[in-house]
């Protein structure tokens, strides 16, 4: 995988990429050496990880072949094949290493709407990102908090209709129970265009009781 002359060239300069049927924007799933998912990286970061010999092993499919600078000594270009999943040595200080229990991922609409499959959890219709809103199941005015377990995606109409009431008070029923994702679930929700092998890998790291198992069956995206 690594050529022996990698350390003699400036890898970041003069980087040429031969995609293997994948767009350059395709993200790569980085894990730690034990296989715990850590983060998504782009091809440049992946190249850096290969170049600094932090890649322990790879899984998944071949995404790109990267050609680096020419080695002055041999006149050959350096070549690295980048896979869709790369396991790396060392530690990034990533909270994913806490392995669950204590970790609460940051709440943002991108991952929240993805958790709820871009559905309004009141009327059940699917909406574009820009047409969804964050509904607080128990409103702030009634002591509700801005936490994963108290928020759902909702269309503007349902959100307005519910106003500052609980679902019971508004006579509205939730289609699914909101939940706090684990780190692996959060990485999955953060992914843009997750490949089948990456998805399979991440799902294997979800808890057995993960609501996403059922949600993905019920609401394929
Ligand atoms: Zn709605």
- Residue-wise pLDDT for 146-204, tens only, equals 999 999 999 999 999 999 999 999 999 999 999 999 999 999 999 989 999 999 999 99
Position 4 scores a pLDDT of 40
- In the chain, the largest separation of any two C-alpha atoms, in whole Å, equals 76
Q: Which residue has the higher pLDDT, 38 or 72?
A: 38
Residue 96 has pLDDT above 90, yes or no: no
Which pLDDT does position 15 carry in this prediction? 67
The CA 72 to ligand 1 mean position distance, Å, reads: 63
Please report the pLDDT score of residue 8 as a whole number.
37
Residue with tokens 């969804």, as numbered in its chain: 132
CA of residue 89 to ligand 1 center, whole Å: 45
Q: How are beta strands 28-32 and 77-88 bridged, if at all?
A: parallel
In this prediction, residues 105-111 reach a mean pLDDT of 96
CA 133–ligand 1 middle distance (angstroms): 10
72 pLDDT higher than 50: yes
SS3 category, 198: helix
Among residues of the chain, what percentage have pLDDT more than 70?
A: 86
Q: Compute, in angstroms, the gap from residue 77 CA to the centroid of ligand 1.
A: 56
164 alpha carbon – ligand 1 mean position (Å): 15
Q: Which of 158, 149, 138 is nearest to 178 (CA)?
A: 149
Structural domains in the chain, CATH included, are: 6-97 (no CATH), 106-180 (1.10.30.50)
pLDDT of residue 65: 86
Interstrand relation of 28-32 and 37-41 (parallel, antiparallel or unpaired): antiparallel
pLDDT at 113 over 90: yes
Residue 66 alpha carbon to ligand 1 centre in Å? 46
| C-alpha of residue 138 to centroid of ligand 1, in Å | 17
Rounded to whole angstroms, the Cα distance separating 9 from 151 reads: 50
Work out the pLDDT band at 79, boundaries 50, 70, 90.
confident
pLDDT at 217: 94
Ligand 1 centroid from CA 71, angstroms: 59
Residue 101, pLDDT score: 55
Q: Is 79 left (phi over 0), alpha (psi -120 to 50) or beta?
A: beta
Please write the tens of the pLDDT for every residue from 3-58: 444 443 345 555 676 667 788 889 999 999 999 999 999 988 998 898 888 999 99
Ligand 1 mean position, distance from CA 128 (Å):
12
DSSP SS3 for 66 = strand
Beta bridge partners of 134: 153
pLDDT mean over 113-134: 97
pLDDT at 90: 73
Distance 161 CA to ligand 1 centre (A): 9
**Which residue, among 109, 85, 101, has the nearest Cα to 37 in the 3D structure?**
85
Kindly give the distance from the C-alpha atom of residue 182 to the centroid of ligand 1, in angstroms, as a whole number. 27
- pTM confidence score: 0.84
65 versus 164: the higher-pLDDT residue is 164
CA dihedral over 118, 99, 105, 164, signed as positive or negative = positive
Report the distance separating Cα 131 and Cα 116, nearest Å. 14
């Amino acid at each position: 995988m690594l050529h022996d002359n990698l350390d003699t060239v400036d890898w970041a300069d003069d980087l040429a990429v031969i995609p293997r049927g994948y767009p350059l924007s395709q993200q790569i799933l980085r894990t730690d050496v034990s296989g715990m998912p850590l983060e998504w990286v782009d091809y440049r970061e992946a190249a850096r990880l290969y170049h600094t010999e932090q890649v322990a092993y790879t899984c998944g499919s071949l995404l790109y072949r990267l050609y680096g600078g020419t080695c002055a000594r041999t006149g050959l270009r350096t070549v690295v094949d980048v896979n869709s999943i790369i396991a790396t040595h060392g530690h990034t200080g990533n909270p994913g290493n806490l392995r669950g229990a204590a970790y609460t991922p940051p709440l943002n609409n991108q991952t929240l709407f993805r958790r709820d499959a871009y559905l309004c959890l009141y009327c059940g219709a699917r909406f574009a990102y820009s047409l969804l809103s964050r509904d607080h199941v128990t409103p702030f005015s009634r002591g509700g908090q801005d936490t994963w377990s108290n928020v759902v995606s909702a269309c503007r109409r349902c959100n307005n209709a519910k106003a500052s009431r609980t679902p019971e008070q508004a006579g509205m029923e939730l289609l699914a129970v909101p939940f706090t994702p684990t780190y692996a679930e959060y990485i999955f929700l953060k992914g843009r265009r997750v490949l089948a092998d990456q998805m399979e890998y991440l799902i294997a790291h979800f808890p057995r009781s993960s609501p996403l198992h059922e949600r993905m069956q019920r609401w394929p995206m």
